[in-house]
Amino acid sequence: MAAGFVDTARISVRAGKGGNGAVAFHREKYVAAGGPDGGDGGAGGDIVLQADDNMSTLMDFRYKRKYVAENGADGEGSRRNGKGGKALVIRVPRGTLVRDAETNEIIRDMSDGEPFVLCKGGRGGWGNAHFATPTRQVPRFAKAGLEGEEHDVVLELKLLADVGLIGFPNVGKSTLLSVVSKAQPKIANYHFTTLFPNLGVVYVNEESSFVMADIPGIIEGASEGAGLGHDFLRHVDRCRLLVHVVDVSGSEGRDPVADFDAINAELAQWSPELAARPQIVVANKTDIMEDDALLDALRAHVKPLGFPIFPLSAASHTGTRELVQSIAAKLATLPPVAVYEATYVPRPPVIDADEPLDVETEDGVWYVSGKWLERLMANVNFSDYESRMFFDKTLRENGVFRLLEERGIKDGDTVDLYGLQFEYQR
């Protein structure tokens, strides 16, 4: 990996814990203990991912690997609820894939501008004001807030570009990008000048433009980790069209046909789908070409493959306008930039139900609490049917309903699990 560019990073994130409910009583003459007025705890802060067009690498995650959102504040007396924890917004470059660190499944493709809640903050606990009933006027208990969700994820940057410039180092890709767009890549006459991908917007006319990426030079063996290619081949994955730049000048003694075949072989080894992507071949450095036979041989080689070829000189700007127009015309016939579908399926939490549960009943409401139940509820998405079924199965398998029946619960009674209430039915 080149210093200064990071395109994968593993981080740990944890949403904030919900604040605890308060046990408090207001002072009022002739009212037992003043009456309960403990407020609820605030919800913990979420972990939110946001695509940022001003970021081009994952460098920010090289040294900071743990991210924790703010906890919710505890409730207070006078029915004052605790303040919710502030969401922690983590900004990533547009085009970043978020993967589960354990399974490598895709959780989210950060290609659009919509924020994504990666981890939900824990719910705040109820204050004792919630638990007052006609027969229990002085509840001296409240509920603790729930833990926030946590996740280990791998961030993987895949550039969002319409066109990817590919080819051996020092064939003129950076120069071409600088000529046809407003990008300003570093350009010098030595190999591996480009140590990280450069993006440029190419304006065709008032109604048409496209994004071009200069992918660092690929060499033979790149798909197996040689040179810089292995680190950057992933950035070609989204490109709708590949522009294959080949040096036909002969100034370095290279064979254009051999170079063309070697790069395509690397692409095929990395991804057959990528190798099948449409290509336009650019025969560059014609202004210093020593032998026309090199250009003729390359043209004869790529023509049977169906690839159009454009002889030009990026350095002298010769032929670049025709290339841009041909690229725009080809893009108009191709599907939009690929967006990866989420494949991640949340795993059920591992619950140790050895710890005993606390059960209290009042006026037909059964309050059940306990550490393992608290952890279970913090990991269940109650808006998802399968999660709710898993929750019900876990309660049954760990004897929660049996315990309630032994205590005398009846059909129609209300069960309260940390503020989640439902009617009990055998």
In this structure, what are the phi and psi dihedrals at residue 8, rounded to the nearest 5 degrees? -140, 145
Averaged pLDDT for residues 74-87: 92
What integer pLDDT is reported at residue 326 of this predicted model? 95
Q: How confident is the model at residue 105 (pLDDT cuts 50, 70, 90)?
A: very high
The three-state secondary structure class of 418 is coil
Residue 60 and residue 93 in contact, taking contact as beta carbons nearer than 8 Å: no
pLDDT in tens, 329-363: 999 999 988 888 999 988 777 777 778 888 888 77
Spell out where 317-373 has E strands.
Answer: 358-362, 365-369
Give the Cα separation of 171 and 217 in Å (integer): 9
Determine the pLDDT at residue 270: 77
**How is domain 1-157 classified at the architecture level of CATH?**
Distorted Sandwich (2.70)
Angle made by CA atoms 243, 310, 295, in degrees to the nearest 5 = 110
Average pLDDT in the 263-277 region?
85
Q: Is the pLDDT of residue 128 over 80?
A: yes
41/18 Cα distance (integer angstroms): 6
- Cβ pair 337, 160 in contact under 8 A: yes
Is the C-alpha dihedral spanning 161, 167, 170, 171 positive or negative?
negative
Q: At 412, which amino acid appears?
A: G
H or E stretch covering 50: strand 47-52
Helices H / strands E in the chain, number of each: 9, 18
Condensed to tens digits (0 to 9), the pLDDT of residues 203-212 reads 988 888 898 9
Q: What is the identity of the amino acid at 163?
A: V
Read off the pLDDT band of 251 (50, 70, 90).
confident
| Backbone φ and ψ of 70, nearest 5° | -75, 140
Least confident among 8-22, 89-103, 307-321, 338-352: 338-352
Structural contact between residues 218 and 234, judged by C-beta atoms closer than 8 angstroms: no
- Phi then psi dihedrals of residue 47, to 5 deg: -100, 120
Find how far residue 378's CA is from the centre of its chain: 22
- Return the axis-axis angle of helices 292-302 and 256-270, rounded to nearest 10°: 40
Higher pLDDT, 76 or 31: 76
Q: What is the pLDDT of residue 7?
A: 78
**Running DSSP on this structure, what letter comes out for residue 76?**
B
Which CATH class for the 350-426 domain? alpha beta
DSSP state of 211: E
Query: What pLDDT is recorded for position 227?
Result: 44
What is the CA angle 296-271-208, rounded to 5? Answer: 65
Q: What whole-number distance in Å separates Cα of residue 11 and Cα of residue 423?
A: 41
Q: Please list the residues that pair with 204 across neighbouring strands.
A: none
Give the mean pLDDT of the chain: 85
Q: How far apart are the first and last CA of the chain?
A: 60
Q: What CA–CA distance (Å, rounded) separates 216 from 339?
A: 23
Q: Contact 58/234 with Cβ under 8 angstroms?
A: no
Placement of tokens 């929660």 in the chain: 400
DSSP letter at 252 equals T
Instruction: Identify the residue with better confidence: 243 or 197.
Output: 243
Instruction: Please state, in angstroms and rounded to a whole number, the distance separating the CA atoms of residues 73 and 82.
Output: 5
Query: Which residue bears the tokens 């065709």?
Result: 204
| C-alpha distance from residue 360 to each of 130, 346, 372 (Å) | 14, 32, 17
* Separation between Cα atoms, residue 70 and residue 85, nearest integer Å: 5
pLDDT at 61 over 80: yes
Q: CA triplet 204, 206, 209: central angle to 5 degrees?
A: 40
Q: What is the pLDDT of residue 231?
A: 59
For residue 231, what are its two tokens? 């680190």
How many Cα atoms occupy the beta-carbon half-sphere of 140 within 13 Å?
Answer: 2
Indicate the range of 109-118, 289-298, 341-350 predicted with least confidence: 341-350
Cα dihedral 111/112/114/117 (nearest 10):
-20
Domain boundaries along the sequence of the chain:
1-157, 163-331, 350-426
Question: 163-331 belongs to which CATH class?
Answer: alpha beta
Q: What pLDDT does residue 189 have? A: 44
Whether residue 213 is predicted with pLDDT greater than 90 in this model: the reply is no
Contacts of 180 (CB under 8 A, 6+ apart): 200, 202, 212, 320, 323, 324
Asked if 285 and 247 count as a contact pair (C-beta separation under 8 A), the reply is yes
Model confidence at 26: pLDDT above 70:
yes
DSSP 151: E
Look at the chain and count its residues. 426
Residue 234's pLDDT band (cuts 50, 70, 90): confident
- 46-65 mean pLDDT: 90
